[in-house]
Structure 1
Amino acid sequence: MNREQLSQKIIDTCLEMTRLGLNQGTAGNVSVRYQDGMLITPTGMPYEKMNVDSIVYVDGNGNYEQEKLPSSEWHFHLAVYKARNDVDAVVHNHAVNCAAVSILEKSIPAIHYMIAVGGTDHIPCVPYATFGTHQLAEYVYQGIQESKAILLAHHGLIAAEKNLDKALWLAHEVEVLASWYIKLLATGLPIPTLSSDEMKIVLEKFKSYGLRVEE
């Protein structure tokens, strides 16, 4: 896709994220790898008011276009692309259940085999840092190397994948997992989890599993 097409795809993804109930207001942000940097949503602009000219290019050194302001979270988006060369799209949101689990500062354990969507046997939760800071970007840089989906303590979710369709699919799957985990925690009962041996089997099977979307 060229820049205009990628920019429109970012906007479409934002609108779909809201339609799916994964975000509220202007809270989330979306980016795609582009040239030596990325294209990312602007700061503080409602999705329905965006057009392709609203999307901001940020280069690999963090320089962005004059008279445009990228999302305040651009630091951690760039950190994801630097940490993983196998992903080209990042979706961040404050989905209700993911945010709730993140407030508990808990990773989501292997309560279901679909935990493997992130590429490991749990959905990690990285430590809290103020939004938009280099410290948060450093936590993301470390966490995203472990899993393509991570929770940010007292904040929300990051999902990274090869393209925007896959990234949004991943974000949706993790929100479902978070909703199950919240319900299980509410029972007060011990929560059974799948064994590490079983998760190794599942993770191997997941190498050929997932959303089939043309690259």
Structure 2
Amino acid sequence: MLMLREREAIVAYGLKLIRSGLTTGSGGNLSILSRKDNLIAISPSGIDYHEMTIADVVIVDRAGRKVEGALKPSSELGFHLALYSAREDITSVVHTHSVYATTIACLHWEIPAVHYLVAFSGDKVPLAAYATFGSEALADNIIAAIGDYNAVLLANHGLVAVGHDLDNAFNTAEEIELVARIYYQAKSLGDPVLVGAEEMKIVAEKFRSYGQQDQDIS
């Protein structure tokens, strides 16, 4: 079985998407790229995460051709392929329908630096213009919007987070959902005061070593 560890990770993090409230049912999708093998493990289309097994995870090549697996890959395979082609630093993609991020996306807003944790994405979370799910236009819109950011809102749709591994991409999706909720609640009360650009640069630099045991970051 190809990419066994990656398949196991897709199954485990699919359940984490549900348990963390980042999606429901079979919504959203996840993938991992092996740049060494030029193969991608991606969640299948329309399978409930509670039911998904490692055998259900689909293996495709960089052109999207199925290499192993009986099921269809996610309907959003196109934008996963596009992200891997656009940026050498990306080896995992997580797409969610998380409630607060999606609410902001339905307003066609970006998420500004309302809280320093937006640095998981960058100095903001940009917005990709709406296009039909699974379409080439959606993939094009995501690439146009994401630039060097690690997360992008999809208008009237959801959120995409990217990372150097699946844990990193998932953490970004989870933290941006928290920031989206904070932004939603702050906007409900008034106009939030944003973190300044210079401070966000400082935070971004500190995040380069975030989580390392020899650093004092809380």
**TM-score where L is the length of structure 2:** 0.90
Aligned equivalent of 1:81: 84
Residues 150-193 of structure 1, C-alpha deviation per residue, up to 9 Å, x if partnerless?
Answer: 11110101111111111111111000000001101112x22211
Question: How is 1:97-112 mapped onto 2 (pairs within 5 angstroms)?
Answer: 97-112=100-115
Q: 2:61 aligns with which of 53, 59, 62?
A: 59
Question: How is 1:107-122 mapped onto 2 (pairs within 5 angstroms)?
Answer: 107-118=110-121, 120-122=122-124
Q: 1:74 to 1:211 in 2, by over 3 A?
A: farther
**TM-score where L is the length of structure 1:** 0.92
Question: How is 1:203-214 mapped onto 2 (pairs within 5 angstroms)?
Answer: 203-210=204-211
Q: How far did 1:40 drift?
A: 0.3
Q: How far did 1:20 drift?
A: 0.8
In the alignment, the residues of structure 2 paired with residue 103 and residue 210 of structure 1 have an alpha-carbon distance, to the nearest angstrom, of 33
Q: How far did 1:145 drift?
A: 2.5
Q: How far did 1:204 drift?
A: 2.0
Q: How many residues align?
A: 209
Secondary structure in structure 2 of the residue aligned to 1:30: strand
Question: How is 1:27-42 mapped onto 2 (pairs within 5 angstroms)?
Answer: 27-34=27-34, 35-42=37-44
Report if aligned partners of 2:56, 2:70 keep a CA contact under 8 Å in 1. Answer: no
| Identity %, equivalent residues | 38
Aligned equivalent of 1:69: 72
Aligned equivalent of 1:48: 50
Residues 108-138 of structure 1, C-alpha deviation per residue, up to 9 Å, x if partnerless?
Answer: 00111111111x2101111111000001001
Aligned equivalent of 1:13: 13
Report if aligned partners of 1:166, 1:211 keep a CA contact under 8 Å in 2. Answer: no
Question: Gaps spanning 5+ residues in structure 2: where?
Answer: 214-218
Aligned equivalent of 1:92: 95
Comparing 44-53 with 177-186, which one deviates more in the overlay?
Answer: 44-53
Report if aligned partners of 2:58, 2:70 keep a CA contact under 8 Å in 1. Answer: no
Report if aligned partners of 2:21, 2:98 keep a CA contact under 8 Å in 1. Answer: yes
- The alignment's C-alpha RMSD in Å is 1.6
Comparing 60-69 with 153-162, which one deviates more in the overlay?
Answer: 60-69
Question: Gaps spanning 5+ residues in structure 1: where?
Answer: none
Residues 13-71 of structure 1, C-alpha deviation per residue, up to 9 Å, x if partnerless?
Answer: 00011011111111111100032241101100111221111111121112124743100
In the alignment, the residues of structure 1 paired with residue 191 and residue 169 of structure 2 have an alpha-carbon distance, to the nearest angstrom, of 32
Comparing 64-73 with 143-152, which one deviates more in the overlay?
Answer: 64-73
Q: How far did 1:201 drift?
A: 1.9
Aligned equivalent of 1:201: 202
Report if aligned partners of 2:43, 2:73 keep a CA contact under 8 Å in 1. Answer: yes
In the alignment, is residue 176 of structure 1 matched against residue 171 of structure 2? no
Q: How far did 1:142 drift?
A: 2.4
Aligned equivalent of 2:216: none
Deviant stretches of 4+, over 6 Å: none
Report if aligned partners of 2:128, 2:146 keep a CA contact under 8 Å in 1. Answer: no
